[in-house]
Amino acid sequence: MKQFENKVAVITGAASGFGKAFAAYGATLGMKLVLADIQQDALDATVSELKSRGTEVIGVRTDVSLAHEVQALADITMSTFGTVNLLFNNAGVGAGGFVWENTEKDWEWVLGVNLNSVIHGVRIFTPLMLDAAARDAAYEAHIVNTASMSGLVNAPTMGVYNVSKHAVVSLSETLYHDLGLVTDQVHCSVLCPYFVPTGFNQSRRNRPASLANAQTPTRSQQVAQAMSDKAVTSARISADEIAQQTYQAVREGDFYIYSHPEAMDPVKQRFEQLLARRNPGDPFAGHPELRRNLARAVRG
């Protein structure tokens, strides 16, 4: 997708973090925006801010874990702008702790937002894009699915999140191959960011009451939250930088988008272990003190 001006972008999780950065950068390129988020006040503020800059933008409160609400988002997009060119399946949440300590509600919440929302987005918006491509040889479209470095490696105490993001990478790679069989006009990418100061570590603020846990977080869950807080708040690459990288990747037709190329060594090591049929290696091999500290913390 080479041209962005006057094209229509749909962005989920658009009121904060990567989503808000995607929206802001899209606005500088002259795009028309449809912003979706579950947090109404933050969504309204983002829409108001972009409108004040002259951007043509609408906001649609959306629980992306629910298929009928994603369908409504698509319907509003089409009735308002008549087309969609760029889809960011971006909404995401996090939960940690030992995998056997994650509750059914933890799994339902994280998989609902991180995975089911991408499934809904792909299932509902891709046919709209393919239909537009069939009718217009000049039409271009692109889908960006936000995964994570956690979709390529498996750090301890992040199991439920790891599972959701590995699934997004798999879905995205399959989508890439499937699209290649039927069109040259619709493409896709998967974004695998490392830690970025987006406020993602506080995603529990939007956890539905119906999926809240009654019990106190376990020690491993508390430790995982503390680790996430530290990693996210101390990160140095901004969401705005990631947005610029992502739009450039869309322009160039790149599938894999990495925010921190220097963090790819663990990915290389993981695949070397797979090929050699070795047991999973120690993710803290280069920093044994981190493993000792983590083990000490979760054991109390």
- Provide, for the chain, the percentages of residues in helix, strand and coil under a 3-state DSSP scheme, each rounded to the nearest 5: 55, 15, 30
CA distance 110 to 138: 38
List of E strands, the chain: 8-12, 32-37, 57-61, 86-89, 141-146, 186-192, 256-258
Helix (H, G, I), strand (E, B) or coil at 287: coil
**Distance in Å from the first CA to the final CA of the chain:** 52
Catalytic residues, by residue number, are 161
Long-range Cβ contact pairs of 269-277 (< 8 A, separation 24 or more): 270/152, 270/153, 270/154
Do 129 and 187 touch, CB atoms closer than 8 A?
no
CA distance 144 to 190: 6
**Total number of residues shown for the chain:** 300
Helix (H, G, I), strand (E, B) or coil at 37: strand
CA distance 45 to 225: 28
Which amino acid type is present at position 135?
A: R
For the stretch 123-143, what's the b/e string if a residue is b when 16 or more beta carbons lie within 10 angstroms of its beta carbon?
Answer: ebbbebbbebbeeeeebbbbb
